[in-house]
Amino acid sequence: MAKDCGHTVPCGCKDTPLTTPAPCGDGIDCPDATACSETFDAECVYYTGDPIMCDDEVVVDTNTPLDDAIAAMIAALCTGGEGTITQQLCCNCEENVIVDIGATYEEAMSNILEWACGEIGTLNTNKAERKFAQTANSATITDPATGTIVGTGVGNVTVLANTLNSGDTYRCYMTGYIGCTNTQELTLTMSLGSATAATSNIDLNIADGTWTLEYDITIRSVGVTGTAAISGGFSYRATGDQFWRGEGFIGITTIDTTTDNDFNVNASWNLDESGVNDIYSYMFNITKIY
């Protein structure tokens, strides 16, 4: 507690507290902290190990400042030095020699890059390519109606004209819900443009349940009268049922690859039961696998 002891100001703490100045000085932004307790300039750190060699050439000598050592190694990598390769570099040496003995460092680097880019290109050619992913439920098809059960999504269900090649293969995966109160027959038609395959008269006798449709389409030949192979299967399981039921399909069909072609799955009920049967999809993925 401050007391009046005869001074011109009260005894005790002043109204204005003392402050600690900024560690780097007023108006100077300090650098971000590092995990190191101390930092040193590269010029002040020396390499003290054995000389770093490339063939008979010394790239970095003992007791070289670190900044000079780094610069020397970069220079050796960038210029390739003046040495030559003394050991063959190959991948399956009987067929594919990447760098032969006697090649300069510059030639070796060029050959390695050419080989690596070719291998990466092959990997990219053979990797799976996402084509379409459904992101919303499709329309519900109720008997006796017929219609598509492909919903909206990201990507594209269209394959543009003259872009299909022999061997192109697409994998299609669709799942959804089906409600059926009586013995009913359902037909699903899978298509890519004019190329179609169908599951015929699937016998259903379920209250409600889930279903899965999986199939592949491979282009066999191209042109106005091109051909495609389609094969796969449809399976379903009623609520409370322990077993999956369904049928498979396979066929060769024609396709005109000179026009745009759309992927589609069409559902149709074979019996008119006044709307007590319905089906829709909640997932449809298309992937180009070759």
pLDDT given at position 24: 64
CATH architecture assignment, domain 129-288: Sandwich (2.60)
Domain with CATH 2.60.120 in the chain: 129-288
Answer left, alpha or beta for residue 201, where phi above 0 means left and psi between -120 and 50 means alpha. Answer: left
Maximal C-alpha separation, the chain: 114
> Are residues 182 and 273 in contact, defined by beta-carbon separation less than 8 angstroms?
yes
pLDDT given at position 74: 72
Q: Using omega within 30 degrees of 0 as the cis cutoff, is the peptide bond preceding 144 cis?
A: yes
pLDDT given at position 78: 63
pLDDT given at position 12: 56
pLDDT given at position 220: 96
Reference 286, options 178, 192, 163, 176; nearest CA is: 192
Q: pTM of the entire structure?
A: 0.57
pLDDT given at position 123: 52
What residues of the chain score a pLDDT lower than 50? 1
Q: Give the DSSP H or E segment for 125.
A: helix 105-126
